[in-house]
Chain A
Amino acid sequence: AQSVTQLGSHVSVSEGALVLLRCNYSSSVPPYLFWYVQYPNQGLQLLLKYTSAATLVKGINGFEAEFKKSETSFHLTKPSAHMSDAAEYFCAVSPGFQKLVFGTGTRLLVSP
């Protein structure tokens, strides 16, 4: 079964610092991978997705992620954190059918 593992339930950064949220996937076939963001009391919003076109994927709000097959990773990065980036981030894999399988989430805390 396909799955994703997010390392670190909480990540704290200072405003302006690099953001790195880790996601490793397990899949026997080329996966479709997604990062979603959830702001407090809101639904899930897509940040970016990987669908086997380019390995470096750029998303909204300055986020990007790189698909590395050799490392089975799809880490999310942003060069400079803003206070408004504070949220819960979910990595997800779609097994090529319809549903999304989510990771446990990483809460990003941004301090001034």
Chain B
Amino acid sequence: EPEVTQTPSHQVTQMGQEVILRCVPISNHLYFYWYRQILGQKVEFLVSFYNNEISEKSEIFDDQFSVERPDGSNFTLKIRSTKLEDSAMYFCASSPRGGEAEAFFGQGTRLTVV
């Protein structure tokens, strides 16, 4: 069964460092997303990506964040200068289309900023 895969599963980084979280969405999907879940809190939308551009982003997704689909298969989330409050589980998701279509989630990357 096709699935969304994320690497790494855990990442520890020092405050101020850049991190790149990687995702391989399901191959025939067109919409890609990043969400995050701070420990003990709800899952929050960060950004959606369609047709090689950001289609929507949340207030959380400030200038420190960027997304890219560099080679037609990978979908990355970059945080330029990490802060302690960026520590969270980051989920990648993909969907064959928007709206009512199901989003398929990866297993997540747990980012710890120290």
Q: How far is the CA of A43 from the CA of B50 in the complex (A)?
A: 22
Whether B42 lies near A99 (C-beta < 8 A) is no
Chain B residue numbers with a CB within 8 Å of A44 are 43, 91, 93, 105
B58's nearest neighbour on chain A, judged by CB, is A99
Q: How far is the CA of A107 from the CA of B96 in the complex (A)?
A: 29
Chain B residue numbers with a CB within 8 Å of A49 are 100, 102
Q: How far is the CA of A97 from the CA of B101 in the complex (A)?
A: 10
Q: Is B33 an interface residue (CB 8 A)?
A: yes
B95's nearest neighbour on chain A, judged by CB, is A98
Tally of contact residues, A, Cβ under 8 A: 23
Chain A residue numbers with a CB within 8 Å of B107 are 42-43
Tally of contact residues, B, Cβ under 8 A: 27
Whether B48 lies near A99 (C-beta < 8 A) is yes
Partner of B56, one of A42, A52, A98: A98
Q: How far is the CA of A101 from the CA of B42 in the complex (A)?
A: 10
Q: Is A14 an interface residue (CB 8 A)?
A: no
Chain A residue numbers with a CB within 8 Å of B105 are 36, 43-45
Partner of B99, one of A96, A101, A103: A96
Chain B residue numbers with a CB within 8 Å of A97 are 56, 98-99
From 18 to 34 in chain A, residues with beta carbon under 8 angstroms from any chain B beta carbon are: 32, 34
B104's nearest neighbour on chain A, judged by CB, is A46
Q: How far is the CA of A52 from the CA of B99 in the complex (A)?
A: 12
Q: How far is the CA of A18 from the CA of B4 in the complex (A)?
A: 33
Q: How far is the CA of A103 from the CA of B98 in the complex (A)?
A: 19
User: Which A positions have Cβ atoms within 8 angstroms of B?
Assistant: 32, 34, 36, 42-46, 49, 51-52, 90, 94, 96-105
9 contacts between A and B (CB under 8 A): A43-B4, A94-B99, A96-B99, A98-B33, A98-B50, A98-B95, A99-B45, A99-B56, A102-B43
User: Which B positions have Cβ atoms within 8 angstroms of A?
Assistant: 4, 31, 33, 35, 41-45, 48, 50, 55-56, 58, 91, 93, 95, 98-100, 102-108
Closest 8 CB pairs of A and B: A51-B100, A98-B98, A44-B105, A43-B105, A32-B100, A102-B43, A99-B45, A98-B48
